[in-house]
Structures are given as C-alpha cells and as structure tokens.
C-alpha cells in the first residue's frame, strides 16, 4: 500500500479550495505527479474532504470526475476548524475574574506560609486578563501532568 504524502494531500485540498465553488481539474493542477496523487485523492474522498468520482479503465488507468472541495475539506484547511469545530466542539467560557479567583484559591490552599500566600495573591490581582488566562491554562496542563493526584480527587467528588 502506498504511503500518504501529507504535503501533497494539503496541496490537493488547496487547489480545490482555490477553485471553489467551481470544480478543480486536479490532473492539470498536479501535472506530472497526478498519477502518484491518486492515493491522496482517494484518501481525501474517503474522509469526505473531496467530492470526486474516481473511475478505473480496464487497463488500470484512473479517471477523475468533477472534483470539488467539501465543507469538511474547507474546515480542515481552516485554522480554527470552521463550522465543524464550532458545531461539534464544546466551548467553555470562563470570565477572567473567575480564572483569577480560581488561581487565588489554589494559592490560598497551598502549603505556603501566609506572607508568601498574600504576596502571590496580590501579584495575581495585578495581572492583565490575558496573562491570567495563560496562567490558568498552565495550571490545567499541570493538573493533567499530575493526573495521579487528580484522579483520587475526581473519584471522591463523583462518588
């Protein structure tokens, strides 16, 4: 089985995106590598990123019908995942003040002595919202990295 060439796979999608909403002539766009690209074209079709009919002649030659990028293909190329991500993902929005309060609570519940706790809480309150957000994401990363400690907490909370 031939390996998927990720670079060519993305180029194929970009050719189709550039032609959108019109069909793209992938044979012309790919030039001499069109014969080798059939693996990526089939892969993209099978994953619903391209809408294309692939026919094979009796002697094994491939023919491509009208080729268009699908909405899933457009979303794949989109940096934010497009509507697929928006409709299928879960977004959790937490206000900056809530993030700050959670971080303060972490500090206050720590084993630090009171003067250090107060100093950290005071510093947290001075941080801009974007820095607080970044710090909260790092705290989540740390929690995931220490999942052995997180698991008993979850078990006790979930019964």
Tens of pLDDT along 70-129? Answer: 999 999 998 877 877 777 766 677 887 888 888 888 888 888 899 998 998 898 888 888
Between 152 and 68, residue with greater pLDDT:
68
Residue with tokens 């979850």: 154
Phi-psi region of 81 (alpha: psi -120 to 50; beta: other; left: phi over 0): left
In terms of pLDDT, which residue wins out, 56 or 81? 56
CA 8 distance to own-chain centroid:
20
pLDDT confidence of residue 18: 96
pLDDT, mean over the chain: 86
């Amino acid at each position: 089985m031939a390996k998927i060439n990720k670079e060519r796979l993305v180029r194929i999608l970009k050719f189709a995106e550039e032609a959108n909403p019109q069909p793209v002539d992938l044979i012309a766009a790919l030039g001499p590598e069109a014969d080798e690209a059939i693996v990526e074209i089939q892969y993209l079709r099978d994953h619903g990123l391209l809408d294309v009919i692939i026919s094979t002649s009796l002697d094994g030659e491939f023919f491509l019908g009208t080729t268009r990028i699908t909405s899933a293909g457009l979303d794949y190329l989109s940096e934010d995942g497009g509507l697929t991500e928006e409709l299928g993902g879960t977004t959790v929005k937490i206000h900056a003040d809530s993030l700050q309060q959670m971080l303060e609570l972490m500090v206050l519940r720590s084993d630090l002595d009171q003067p250090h706790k107060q100093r950290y809480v005071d510093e947290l309150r001075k941080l801009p919202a974007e820095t607080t957000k970044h710090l909260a994401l790092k705290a989540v990363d740390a929690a995931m990295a220490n999942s052995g400690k997180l698991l008993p907490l979850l078990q006790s909370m979930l019964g």
